[in-house]
């Protein structure tokens, strides 16, 4: 039984935007998956924190098949959709934010644009440290930080259209919080260099170059390795 979470139906206030987000994130997830050095996941247990409709885990399983995947989110309707969309893949989805039930079970964890939404990042970092096996790695991506030039506008745009409060954090705060929880912390630019739609929402990307620079330059990929392992 998972601890009660401040759950809601969908993260977006407009439920239709949940599926649209999945489609728009898919090329970025593909780049994310190709960016990590791990290739053979056949024996691994994978966690996706803030999985929404489970699309990242389905894509990861298609590209790098794994033994078992666990998807966690506080969006009830999105988790229900994730269960339906999983088909026969070895995926379990739960409405939760507390990772206590999965202590010591996970080899590799991911989150894509979730950590900027967590009011208590220190508790999340501590729980991630507990769910990972020794030597386990957590890859966490976010471009939502105070050093991103788009962030002042985005924090209002995102805050006004979604159901979880956004947090203001500098990249150093993410790094320091995970280091204090016992992770070796390294980071790279996300570095997405593929085609982006030329007509992305101009409220988020006033200039065409913003749509290119954000996923290439400002989005960060943290590699958080549990200390004490191989
Ligand atoms: C920007 S969306 C990203 C979803 C997904 N990772 C993707 O790449 O499309 C953020 C997700 O984090 C989830 N989330 C926010 N706060 C959370 C929390 N405290 N615990 C678990 N999930 C949370 C939201 O419900 C939402 O599904």
Burial class (CB in 10 A: 0-12, 13-18, 19+), 136: buried
Distance 11 CA to ligand 1 centre (A): 7
The CA-CA-CA angle for residues 26, 29, 35, to 5°, reads: 150
Provide the pLDDT for residue 227: 87
Reference 133, options 106, 100, 101; nearest CA is 106
In the predicted model, what is the mean pLDDT of residues 37-51? 98
Answer whether 197's CB lies under 8 Å from 230's CB.
no
Q: Name the residue of 114, 118, 154, 169 to mutate for ligand 1: max ligand atoms within 8 A of Cβ.
A: 114
Span 55-103, pLDDT tens digits: 999 999 999 999 999 999 999 999 999 999 999 999 999 999 999 999 9
pLDDT at residue 16 is higher than 90 = yes
Answer whether 127's CB lies under 8 Å from 117's CB.
no
Answer whether 43's CB lies under 8 Å from 29's CB.
no
How many CB atoms sit inside 10 A of residue 54's CB? Answer: 26
Q: Dig out the tokens for 110 from the structure.
A: 């991911």
- 98-118 exposure pattern, b = at least 16 Cβ within 10 A, e = fewer: ebeebeebbbbbbbbbbbbbb
Span 182-211, pLDDT tens digits: 999 999 999 999 999 999 899 999 999 999
Q: Where are the alpha helices (DSSP H) in the chain?
A: 16-35, 55-63, 76-85, 121-131, 151-161, 171-180, 208-213
pLDDT at residue 1 is higher than 90 = no
Protein residue with least CA distance to atom 12, ligand 1? 50
Confidence grade of residue 229 (pLDDT, cut at 50, 70, 90): very low
Span 72-81, pLDDT tens digits: 999 999 999 9
pLDDT at residue 230 is higher than 90 = no
pLDDT at residue 5 is higher than 70 = no
Provide the pLDDT for residue 70: 98
Distance 52 CA to ligand 1 centre (A): 6
Q: Dig out the tokens for 26 from the structure.
A: 């898919």
Instruction: Return d(Cα 105, Cα 75) in angstroms, integer.
Output: 23
**In whole angstroms, what separates CA 25 from the centre of its chain?**
11
Helix (H) or strand (E) holding 223: strand 220-226
Average pLDDT, the chain: 95
Provide the pLDDT for residue 2: 38
Instruction: Return d(Cα 230, Cα 226) in angstroms, integer.
Output: 9
Q: What are the beta bridge partners of residue 185?
A: 224
Provide the pLDDT for residue 98: 96
User: Range with the lowest mean pLDDT among 6-10, 53-57, 110-114, 181-185?
Assistant: 6-10
Q: What share of the chain is helix, strand, coil (3-state, %, to 5)?
A: 40, 25, 40
Provide the pLDDT for residue 228: 67
In the predicted model, what is the mean pLDDT of residues 144-170? 96
Tokens 């489609």, residue located = 23
Residue 162 Cβ inside 6 Å of ligand 1? The answer reads no
């Amino acid at each position: 039984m998972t601890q009660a979470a401040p759950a809601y139906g969908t993260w977006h206030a407009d439920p239709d935007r949940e599926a649209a987000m999945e489609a728009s994130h898919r090329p970025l997830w593909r780049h994310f998956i190709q960016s990590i050095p791990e290739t053979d996941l056949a024996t691994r247990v994978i966690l996706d924190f803030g999985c929404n409709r489970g699309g990242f885990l389905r894509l990861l399983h298609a590209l790098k098949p794994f033994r078992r995947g666990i998807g966690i989110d506080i969006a009830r309707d999105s988790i229900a959709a994730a269960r339906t969309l999983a088909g026969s893949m070895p995926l379990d989805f739960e409405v939760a934010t507390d990772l206590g039930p999965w202590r010591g079970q996970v080899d590799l964890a991911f989150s894509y644009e979730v950590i900027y939404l967590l009011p208590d990042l220190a508790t999340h970092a501590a729980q991630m440290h507990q769910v990972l096996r020794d030597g386990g790695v957590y890859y966490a991506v976010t471009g939502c930080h105070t050093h991103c030039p788009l962030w002042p506008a985005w924090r209002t745009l995102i805050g006004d259209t979604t159901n979880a409060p956004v947090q203001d954090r500098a990249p150093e705060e993410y790094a320091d919080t995970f280091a204090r929880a016992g992770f070796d912390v390294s980071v790279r630019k996300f570095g997405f260099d593929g085609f982006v739609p030329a007509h992305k929402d101009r409220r988020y990307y006033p200039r065409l170059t913003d749509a290119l620079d954000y996923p290439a330059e400002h989005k960060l990929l943290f590699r958080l390795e549990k200390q004490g392992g191989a």
